[in-house]
Structure 1
C-alpha cells in the first residue's frame, strides 16, 4: 500500500457513529445543504418498500435529514413502483426523463438520469434490493458531506456475508470485488486501494461533482465514478464510512461473469490501451442435452456524458 493511501485511510475512514444524527441535522441547517436519496430499482417489489419506509420514517419524519426520496424505476414488470409509492417515495420511470434520448438498459443509465429530476446539493444512491435495511446506510454516507466541506464523494463500507439457503457465510459476498475490481484498482489505480467496497451501491456525492462525471450505463458505473472522482477531485476529497453489515440478493455465476465483463470494459475505457472492438462481447457456456452450449451477450460500452454538458440539465430542478 502506498504511504499516501495509508495516511488517507487514517484520515478519511470513519464509522457512522462518529457523526450522530443531531450533529448532522445541525450541520445541514447551518450550511443550507439539501439531500436527495435515489433508489434505482428493477423488479424489487420484495425489498424496496422496507428500504423506502425505513428512510422515510427515520430520516424524513423523525429527523428531517432527507429532503427528497426518489425511486427511479428502470422498467419493472412487478409491483415495484406501486410498493415504493405506497411506502412514501416519489416514483419516476426512467423513460419519463429526457424522453427525446432513448434509454438503454443498465443501472448507470438510471443513476445518470436521476440527476435531471432531483434537486439536492448532495445526492445519495442506495440499492433497492437491500434486506434488513438500516437507515444508517444513508445518514452514514451523507454525514461527511454535511460536516466537512473538503469531502466530495463518500462510499459506504460494510461486511458482506453470502446468504445461502443453508445459512450465511461471513465475508463470502463481494466476489466480483475481490476477484476483479480490487486487483484492477491495485494494479492501475493504487491510490484507490484503500476502498473497502469499491463496487458498493451505497454512496453519496456533491452534485457539483456528479454533474461533471461521465456515467457508464451498465454495471461498471461504480468503478467508473470512483476512478473519475479521483481524477477530478483528488484522493483527499474521497472518503468511506463503516455502516455495519449489508444483506442483499446475490447473482449466480453467469450473472457475476457479465458484471465482471462490464467492469473490465469500463476500466479499459479509462486506461491507455489499444482501442477495443467496438462491440465487445462475452461468451459463456451452459451444459444442455447437446453438451456445452455457448451463449454470447454484448458487453455495454456506452457511457453518458457529464450531465452539466447537456443543455437539458440547465433547466432541471436542481439546487443552485
Structure 2
C-alpha cells in the first residue's frame, strides 16, 4: 500500500505554480464545449473576511482573467453583515433556506455545500471557506487547474501549511488527531492527502451530484472517502497552494468536530449497526464543572441527482 501511495503522490500531487493562469485559460478555451467554473463560499458570520475573498476572486479570476464564471456565497443564517459585505464585493448571495425550500434546512456546513449544487451551474464546482485571511487566488486556480488540463482527474484538494499562531504547521489539530489516523487505518489509499479535512477543493459536478453529503463537519472526510470508492484513487489529486490562515476554533468546538468526523467514518465502515451518538463536554462554572451534551452530526443528504428539482433543472 505504501508503494501505491508513493506512486499516487508522484503522479497526482502538484504545486499551483505548475499550471500558470495563462495555461488554464488556454485549456479552458480549447475544450469544446468550454467547461464552466463555479466558486462557492459557505458563510456564517464571516463579515470580516468574506468581502476580501470575494474581491480577490472577482478581480483576478473573473475580470482580469475569465477563469471563474460564477461566484456564489451561500449564507447559512448570519447575524452580522456577511450577506451585505459579500454582495458589495461582487458575489451573488443566496440564503441557504431559499435553496430547495421544500426540504427544511439542517444546521451544518455540509448542508450548505449540498444545497449549493442546486444554486450553481458550473461543470466544475470549487468550494472555498469564507474565513480565510491573506487570501490568494491560487486557492482557486490551483485546485481548478488539474480539472481543466487532465480529463482523468475528478476531485482535487488544496494542500498547505496551517500555522497556529506563530507556529508553522500546527493548525490542523483535528486532522492529526482524528482524520489522519482514521484514513491511514481504514482507507490507507488516502494516506497521501496532506489536508484531508481542508475546506478548499474542487470537483466535477458529474461526480459531486452522485455523492451523499454529511450535513455537518464530516462532509470533507465523507466526500473524500466516497469519491475514492466512486472514481478510484487515480482520479483524485492535490495541489500545494502555500499557506492557509484562518480563524481557529477552541478546544471544545474541535471536540465536536472530531466526534462528527469519527461518526462519518463509522457510518462508512459499518452501516446499519450504529446508535445515535452524543458528546458530553465540561465547562467550569461558579460551582464546579458543568456538563454540556451535544448531538453529533449524523444526518446525510442523498446524492443531488436523486432530487427531483435538480434532475428537472438539468434535463431542461
For residues 37-52 of structure 1, the aligned pairs below 5 Å read 37-52=39-54
- Alpha-carbon distance between aligned partners in 2 of 1:189 and 1:59, rounded to the nearest angstrom: 35
Structure 1 residue 268 corresponds to structure 2 residue 266: yes
Of 157, 160, 163, 1:158 maps to 160
For residues 51-66 of structure 1, the aligned pairs below 5 Å read 51-66=53-68
Aligned to 2:285: 288
Q: In structure 2, do the counterparts of structure 1 residues 213 and 274 end up closer, same or farther at CA, with 3 Å as the change threshold?
A: closer
- Alpha-carbon distance between aligned partners in 2 of 1:152 and 1:319, rounded to the nearest angstrom: 22
SS of residue in 1 equivalent to 2:269: coil
- Alpha-carbon distance between aligned partners in 1 of 2:197 and 2:22, rounded to the nearest angstrom: 30
Structure 1 residue 235 corresponds to structure 2 residue 237: no
Q: Which runs of 5+ in 1 are unaligned?
A: none
- Alpha-carbon distance between aligned partners in 1 of 2:19 and 2:144, rounded to the nearest angstrom: 10
Aligned to 1:303: 300
Of 95, 98, 115, 1:113 maps to 115
Aligned to 1:7: 7
SS of residue in 2 equivalent to 1:258: helix
For residues 202-217 of structure 1, the aligned pairs below 5 Å read 202-217=200-215
Shift of 1:30: 1.3
Structure 1 residue 17 corresponds to structure 2 residue 14: no
Contact 1:120 1:319 in 2 (8 A): no
Shift of 1:276: 1.8
Shift of 1:69: 0.2
Q: In structure 2, do the counterparts of structure 1 residues 283 and 42 end up closer, same or farther at CA, with 3 Å as the change threshold?
A: same
Shift of 1:319: 9.8
- Alpha-carbon distance between aligned partners in 1 of 2:108 and 2:299, rounded to the nearest angstrom: 10
Structure 1 residue 29 corresponds to structure 2 residue 29: yes
Q: In structure 2, do the counterparts of structure 1 residues 319 and 51 end up closer, same or farther at CA, with 3 Å as the change threshold?
A: farther
- Alpha-carbon distance between aligned partners in 2 of 1:196 and 1:300, rounded to the nearest angstrom: 24
- Alpha-carbon distance between aligned partners in 2 of 1:233 and 1:114, rounded to the nearest angstrom: 22
Contact 1:157 1:240 in 2 (8 A): yes
Structure 1 residue 90 corresponds to structure 2 residue 88: no
Q: Deviations over 1:176-221 (max 9, x none)?
A: 0000000000000000000000000000000000000000000000
Aligned to 1:170: 168
Shift of 1:274: 6.5
* RMSD, matched Cα: 1.2
Shift of 1:287: 1.3
Contact 1:215 1:221 in 2 (8 A): yes
Aligned to 2:222: 224
Q: Which runs of 5+ in 2 are unaligned?
A: none
SS of residue in 2 equivalent to 1:169: coil
Contact 1:121 1:319 in 2 (8 A): no
SS of residue in 2 equivalent to 1:300: coil
Deviating 4+ runs (over 3 angstroms): none
- Alpha-carbon distance between aligned partners in 1 of 2:190 and 2:315, rounded to the nearest angstrom: 30
- Alpha-carbon distance between aligned partners in 2 of 1:147 and 1:155, rounded to the nearest angstrom: 16
Shift of 1:150: 0.1
SS of residue in 1 equivalent to 2:130: coil
Shift of 1:315: 2.9
Shift of 1:273: 6.3
Of 66, 69, 73, 1:67 maps to 69
Shift of 1:290: 1.7
Q: In structure 2, do the counterparts of structure 1 residues 276 and 68 end up closer, same or farther at CA, with 3 Å as the change threshold?
A: same
Superposition TM-score, scaled by structure 1 size: 0.96
